[in-house]
Structure 1
């Protein structure tokens, strides 16, 4: 396999993928912190419907991830599936800009996540194929850092535009297409395939999990249990508004989350490479349980800022590290399929998570949504400790 020229220790594909992630999240996060406010304040939608929208958007589109991963392995192509996925997400923006009912917002969110379902597994496989095994943690950490840096810039721009445009949500939704278009152009002109079709293994990848051992299956189960309590971040945004954070300041609160997420992703990746990914992942599960307990009991606006900052630290610790760990326990010729299975299972768990989270908010209390998330995170941490012991016993 031809070696890429390195830039700051990373191959060209990893660097370009980082910038692609930056611009797409710039686009997405101009919209995301405004969507629950748009639904609740402008369209008058209740929290159960908001949970339904987020659950359907994430989970139904997640079904594509396993097929996308399998298809990417089957045809030996990452680049054009990535381009298709990022293009579809960008084209979802006009629908929310002209929305007059919650079903339009659902359609836009579904199309956006549909695009993500196509692009995520090939993108993760491309990063894994373009990186030496010893540096997987920092490579995925870079991708998450760039992605999240875009998620810092997006809310900041949304905050400025809210003031300039007198809270005109729709114009901001239209303008969010611009960075999305840049992301697609970067893929088309700068990403290079790592694996030519002629070098693929003779056994074509099949849509099955028989290629993966018990470690992969157990880890995916743990991730699914955790995801059942990890309801959509829109509930965190609504919780912030409930405690007294103004509409104009909501993007800045979300910016704080993404800034800490971005700044912690690469150090967390380096730490996982040096000290062990399992330790970092376990720490993340414990931190999440403490955080969601905090969101359950918070009543002071000042505390919201700290909670969002620590939520960013949790994401920095776990998001890239989990994928880097996953890359070490899957066969090399089935990387995209494996990432597709992982992302699909986690995504499907988000449907009941967001539906139940919305139901708990409306019918019991907002705090109940977060207590439930804390409990499932503790359960996932206990399961992961069993996983660690089982791995030690079998090695």
Structure 2
């Protein structure tokens, strides 16, 4: 169990004679905000694909474009959110509040949006809010946590976030079962829950989180940075960043570790099929009844919830970039199951669906928070939100392109050939990314370090 006091400094709990540092209170508070917000967001996400494709008759290509807008707009705004958060000595909480608030305001608009252009505009505004809040939120987590425990902290946050993703579809399923106007009722409940998340953020998340043993951690971090080639380059680039453009993208890309990690995130994002398409594939290829469709995300969320913290700890031990790549092998296996088992007896179908959802959840547990923790180890504090935004934007834009391309391939060739092409592309790009992120002779900046910057014996090699 993770305990924290109200001041944001980590509490400790004895365990078998050792004192295990807990995650800071800031992380737990942000986790609570994400949990509540994800209940709201996933209520909508759980019903939206079926609502658009079945109720409104949208083609797979049309859905791919709309899903791409849903994810791509947030990516375009993310850099601006990171820039605003890092400016003026750090406005991370204020920008996060603006992002969460904008998304909350968009939920009631779904009640009056019944045409595709209007729905697309509402979803674009909602994703603008997500783009604004993501980098400041992750920066708050990394700034509040000692470097050697960032994988654990992001794992705890993502586990709480995923608890909301687990509850959202259940709540949507229950609302659809009892409400006469099912979709409108889902959107109404989602709006109320979103407002609650903003209230928790305003009241319980500090504007300037205190780190654990701030002076000691700062000294250790400085020594660790001096001991690693990637982070030394980051500090050199940060020193000259004042002459860069307002978003300092050029300075960030001059940092070798950031450049390689961003390139690999983009490459792998180009072969990552949207979650909504994964669930539509399962529903169609395995003949899942339509009324059970909102529950499909639960399998992914449950696996993510169970694995997020353990894999975060593993990432701190073996290296965050290594685990990020291993997560894509789990995704490749999930695609393979969908292709290999197109149907059959009910027991075979049930096992196949469960296997795909577990692998899908494992993919997110090994990549989502782990990637953010890896980026945090490569970027100086003053540019933390910008660095997180840069890599996240590249990855999200790549997934935006994949969503449109996959929708077009599905429309032209059918779901099976489209998935086969995506699987082949992922099988090719993963070894390329492994080669690109192979550690150099120096310690990996994305890997944990011991006291005074000494590389941990469990560092990735």
- What is the TM-score of this pair, normalised by structure 1? 0.93
**Does the aligned pair in 2 maintain the 1:61–1:113 contact within 8 Å?**
yes
Larger displacement relative to structure 2 (345-354 or 93-102): 93-102
Match of 2:259 among 217, 220, 238: 217
- Asked if residue 248 in structure 1 is aligned to residue 261 in structure 2, the reply is no
> Are residues 1:5 and 2:34 paired?
no
Q: 1:81 aligns with which of 90, 95, 116?
A: 95
Q: Which residue is 1:19 aligned to?
A: 32
Of structures 1 and 2, the one scoring higher in RCO (CA 8 A, sep 6+) is: 1
Q: CA 1:394–1:245 in structure 2 vs 1: closer, same or farther (change >3 Å)?
A: same
Equivalent-residue separation in structure 2 for 1:364 and 1:20 (angstroms):
42
Say yes or no: does 1:310 pair with 2:353: no
SS for the counterpart of 1:260 is helix
Distance in 1 (alpha carbons) for counterparts of 2:164 and 2:354: 20
Distance 1:316 1:131 in 2: 19
How far apart, in 1, do the equivalents of 2:28 and 2:97 lie? Answer: 16
The whole-number CA distance in structure 1 between the counterparts of 2:135 and 2:31 is: 15
Unaligned segments of structure 1, at least 5 residues: none
Whether the aligned pair in 1 keeps the contact of 2:78 and 2:134 (CA below 8 Å) is: yes
Q: Secondary structure at 1:342's aligned position in 2?
A: helix
In structure 1, how many angstroms separate the alpha carbons of the residues matched to 2:342 and 2:426?
A: 22
User: Shift in Å at residue 7 of structure 1?
Assistant: 4.5
For 2:325 and 2:132, locate their aligned partners in 1 and report how far apart those are by CA, in whole Å.
Answer: 29
Give the SS at the match of 1:64. Answer: helix
Conserved? CA contact 1:223–1:346, under 8 Å: yes
Deviations 1:41-64 (A, max 9, x none): 111111110000011221133111
Q: How many residues are treated as equivalent by the alignment?
A: 389
C-alpha deviation, 1:80, in angstroms: 1.1
Q: Deviation of residue 31 (structure 1)?
A: 0.9
Is the contact made by 2:97 and 2:201 (CA closer than 8 Å) also made in structure 1? yes
CA shift for structure 1 position 259: 0.9
Match 2:427 to one of 371, 378, 387: 378
Q: Aligned partners of 2:160 and 2:295: how far apart in 1?
A: 18
Following TM superposition, by how much is the alpha carbon of 1:280 offset from its aligned partner in structure 2, in angstroms? Answer: 1.3
Q: CA deviation at 1:209?
A: 2.7
**Corresponding position of 1:168:** 182
SS in 1 for 2:52: helix
| SS of equivalent to 1:391 | coil
Aligned pair partner of 1:130 in 132, 138, 144: 144
Indicate the larger mover: 75-84 or 160-169: 160-169
User: What residue is the counterpart of 1:266 in the other structure?
Assistant: 309
**Distance in 2, Cα, partners of 1:267 & 1:390:** 23
Structure 2: state its 5+ residue gaps: 1-6, 13-21, 211-237, 344-348, 445-461
For 2:319, the equivalent position in structure 1 comes to 276
Partner of residue 65, structure 2: 52
> Judging changes above 3 Å, is the alpha-carbon distance between structure 1 residues 10 and 346 closer, same or farther for their aligned structure 2 residues?
same
Alignment of 1:95-110 (within 5 A): 95-110=109-124
Q: State the Cα distance separating 1:16 from its structure 2 match.
A: 0.3
User: How far did 1:381 drift?
Assistant: 2.0
Give, in angstroms, the shift of residue 394 of structure 1: 8.6
> Which residue of structure 1 aligns with residue 163 of structure 2?
149
**1: CA distance between counterparts of 2:109 and 2:26?**
32
Q: CA shift at 1:167, angstroms?
A: 6.8
SS state at 1:211 partner? helix
Q: Which residue of the partner structure matches residue 269 of structure 2?
A: 227
Tell me, yes or no, if structure 1 residue 366 matches structure 2 residue 415.
Answer: yes
Q: Is the 8 A contact 1:256 1:308 kept in 2?
A: yes
Q: Secondary structure at the match of 1:248?
A: helix
